[in-house]
A and B are shown apart, each in its own frame.
Chain A
Amino acid sequence: AQKVTQAQTEISVVEKEDVTLDCVYETRDTTYYLFWYKQPPSGELVFLIRRNSFDEQNEISGRYSWNFQKSTSSFNFTITASQVVDSAVYFCALSEADSSASKIIFGSGTRLSIRP
């Protein structure tokens, strides 16, 4: 069965600090996709990244970076120099890498609060 665990329920840091959100997943599939979504107070899920299980290269996009380690089944997300606008709930998620795949399995989310 597929499962995504985000052990950190809430994190609070002061603006400009770096923060890492942890994500551990379980799947029997050999090919799969991993995602991170941001959910600001408005409620809409905002797509941040999709990573194929065959691509273990770390990715950086501005202040955001992702560390995918297949050996530990982890896909952690780091925000560098955090800003108040980064405050939101962040979800890690998993999907089969199959053209007929139908569902994304979400973790329970990490609520990130950035204090000015």
Chain B
Amino acid sequence: GAGVSQTPSNKVTEKGKYVELRCDPISGHTALYWYRQSLGQGPEFLIYFQGTGAADDSGLPNDRFFAVRPEGSVSTLKIQRTERGDSAVYLCASSLTPTGTTEAFFGQGTRLTVV
């Protein structure tokens, strides 16, 4: 498709379980971002990839969160030992160049619910 694709759209998991969220960016976009949006809040930055490498992971809340982008395209956000506080919508965005210079396109998000 032409836009940023995120799967699954919804994920319900039990506390303590491991989850993976997938992001398929727009073809040719080298910059990829993960954000987390809690209810009633604006998106909060988690991590930024330029190509295959994580150029800025300062937003990851703790070491239970990890993300990869092994081939510079699809990215996976991994959350270990999930907690109820991890429940949120996880948004992925991609842009042709870093967002300092160009527009970022967002996916529809994955709604994660930890029960």
Question: Do A44 and B107 have beta carbons less than 8 Å apart?
Answer: yes
Chain B at the A interface: mostly helix, strand, loop or mixed?
loop
What number of A residues sit within 8 Å (CB to CB) of B? Answer: 27
Query: Which residues of chain A have C-beta atoms less than 8 A from B56's C-beta?
Result: 102-103
Task: Determine if A99 and B42 form an interchain contact, defined as CB atoms under 8 angstroms apart.
Answer: no
Interface size counted on chain B using CB atoms at 8 A: 27
B98 to chain A, nearest CB (A): 5
Q: Please tell me if A25 contacts chain B, counting CB pairs below 8 Å.
A: no
Question: Is B12's CB within 8 Å of the partner chain A?
Answer: no
Q: In the complex, which residues 19-70 of chain B have their Cβ closer than 8 Å to any Cβ of chain A? A: 33, 40-45, 48, 50, 55-56, 59
Task: Name the one of B43, B97, B105 contacting A106, with C-beta atoms under 8 angstroms.
Answer: B43
Chain A neighbourhood of B97, CB < 8 A: 99
Interchain CB contact (< 8 A) of A108 among B41, B106, B109:
B41
**A85 surroundings in chain B (CB, below 8 A):** none
Please give, as numbers and ranges, the residues of chain B lying within 8 Å of A42 by CB-CB distance: 108
A91 within 8 A of B: yes
- Taking A37-B106, A102-B45, A103-B48 as given, write out 10 further A-B residue pairs in contact, using a Cβ cutoff of 8 Å, ordered by the A residue number: A42-B108, A44-B108, A45-B91, A45-B106, A47-B105, A100-B55, A101-B98, A103-B33, A103-B99, A108-B42
Leading 4 A-B pairs by shortest Cβ distance:
A101-B100, A106-B42, A102-B48, A102-B56
